[in-house]
A = this chain, B = another copy of it.
């Protein structure tokens, strides 16, 4: 048997505590699977005294995670502190520089510094593993890095944020508006007191940036991601989507095009019959379109202490088994620079909802502007606004349009022109439709 593997864990929140608990409880089974004993040798956290339901009697305590990272007592450093700088970054760098393998659940850190840290790991001949950083308990990183080795990926997309998916699911199932569902998500602990980071799509973007690199063998560029959150989605959109055979999901999509690689995070209409449409509540799912295998979809819990700990434990097991894979699927020197496809070049169908003034010629004018931009309409849905007073002549009527495939630039131009005429009230709503099998 190989010598014992000594693990140091920095950060003892729900993930860290769960991971330590499982390693202690299952030490024999885990050793049988890994071919060696794996022991939590040292930990670090902000508060020492707290009862976390784990036995730290024989575990060395460090106040400073960076000191733990470089300590001779450990072979693997598990970073569960969080944040793209500060103690998380410092300790990960210290561990890699000291020749320790690193396991992290930190998507922000990787989205910002992934390529640099991958190089540092390579230079020091150690692993940098991050299964837990993308889609929690779903083994998407391993699938991308290892199972897709014979494939060229054309698109990877997914529901990567449980908070947003919970809110959109509740809006659909209970007919509530965004604010009510957000409040409910906060009440049950699925959304933070400040939910900005989730609902504006930043969390999804961090995960997508990592997936993009794994899918296309390119460098990570989180700042290049087109970002649109879910706060603008109304009950009217949810209802119209339902009537048109769609559901609305916040997707992260990375897609190879003729001009580069699209990276976009936005509310998306997906056909009800698609696998991704059926992922409800806080679940996550990731789909991979690839040339040899076709489409593979992985679904499961994207967050939570235990599910995330499961992914961390899988990474630790890989290290214990001496499984070494290039951090981003291939050596850093082989990564291509990220080449963005401009969002205005994006091609797809669009859902457009307008409040059209109820007077002669208004709709004709809209149709004319669409035609000028060569946008063909697949469907037009017009109905009396719920609650509109009978005989309220001239009041705006909701009109929903679905376009055939066109370009983002054409739609943006058309909507700008329409807004400049005196034919609609308020701002047009526009939601991209994702073409799915």
Given A275-B278, A297-B298, A317-B150, are A32 and B331 neighbors across the interface (CB < 8 Å)?
yes
With A313-B150, A317-B150 as known contacts, state yes or no: A329 contacts B295, CB within 8 Å.
no
B-chain residues with CB within 8 Å of residue A72 when the two chains form the complex: none
Chain B residue numbers with a CB within 8 Å of A384 are none
Known: A294-B300, A294-B307, A331-B35. A313 touches B149 (CB 8 A): yes
Contact with B along A301-315 (1 / 0, CB 8 A): 100101101111110
Q: Does A234 contact B (CB under 8 A)?
A: no
In chain A between 304 and 352, which residues have their CB closer than 8 angstroms to a CB of chain B? 304, 306-307, 309-314, 316-318, 321-326, 329-331, 334
CB distance from A33 to the nearest CB of B (A): 5
With A142-B146, A296-B298, A314-B149 given, is the CB distance from A32 to B324 under 8 Å? no
Chain B CB within 10 Å — which of A18, A290, A312 has the most?
Answer: A290
Do residues A324 and B326 form an inter-chain contact, with CB atoms below 8 A?
no
A296: contacting residue among B34, B139, B146, B150, CB under 8 A: B139
Check if A26 is an interface residue, CB within 8 A of chain B.
yes
Does A293 count as interface, using CB distance less than 8 angstroms? yes
Report the bound CA distance from A370 to B83 in whole Å: 61
**A137 B294 Cβ-Cβ under 8 A:** yes
The minimal Cβ–Cβ distance linking A302 to chain B, given in whole angstroms, is 11
CB pair A142–B147 under 8 Å, yes or no, is: yes
A376 at the B interface (CB under 8 A): no
Known: A278-B275, A292-B22. A146 touches B318 (CB 8 A): yes
Count of interface residues, chain A, beta-carbon cutoff 8 Å: 60
> Are A330 and B149 in touch, CB under 8 angstroms?
no
A75 touches B (CB below 8 Å): no
Q: Which residues in window 124-157 of A have CB below 8 A to B?
A: 131, 137-139, 142-143, 146-152
Instruction: Name the distance in Å between A191's Cβ and chain B's nearest Cβ.
Output: 20
Q: Which residue of B lies closest to A301 (CB)?
A: B294
A98-137 CB contacts (< 8 Å) to partner B? 131, 137
Is the beta-carbon distance between A314 and B32 smaller than 8 angstroms?
A: no
Q: How far is the CA of A367 from the CA of B136 in the complex (A)?
A: 49
Q: Cα distance A33–B298 when bound, in Å?
A: 22
A178 within 8 A of B: no
CB neighbours (8 Å) of A290 from chain B are 310
* Closest residue of B by beta carbon distance from A313: B150
A9 to B26, CA, bound (A): 40
Q: Using Cβ atoms and an 8 Å threshold, which residues of chain B touch A334?
A: 32
Complex contact A299–B300 (CB within 8 A): no
Most chain B CB atoms below 10 A, which of A131, A147, A311, A324:
A147
Task: Please give me the residue from chain B that is nearest to A317 by CB atom.
Answer: B149
Smallest beta-carbon distance A301→chain B, Å? 5
Min CB distance, A153 to chain B, in Å?
A: 11
A61 within 8 A of B: no
Q: Once the chains are docked, how many angstroms separate the CA of A26 from the CA of B330?
A: 14
In the bound assembly, the distance between CA atoms of A356 and B286 in angstroms comes to 48
**Contact mask A142-183 → B, CB, 8 Å, 1/0?**
110011111110000000000000000000000000000000
Residues B329 and A146 in contact, CB atoms below 8 Å apart: no
Tell yes or no: A30 within 8 A of B by CB.
yes
A331 to B19, CA, bound (A): 24
* A147 with B292, Cβ < 8 A, contacts A298-B298, A321-B324 known: no
Which residues in A have some Cβ–Cβ distance to B below 8 Å? 18-19, 22-23, 26, 29-30, 32-35, 131, 137-139, 142-143, 146-152, 217, 275, 278, 290, 292-301, 304, 306-307, 309-314, 316-318, 321-326, 329-331, 334
- 3 shortest interchain CB distances as A-B pairs: A150-B313, A149-B317, A139-B147
Q: List 15 A-B contacts (CB under 8 A).
A: A35-B331, A139-B139, A146-B318, A151-B310, A151-B313, A275-B299, A278-B278, A292-B307, A293-B311, A294-B307, A295-B300, A296-B298, A297-B298, A321-B324, A323-B323
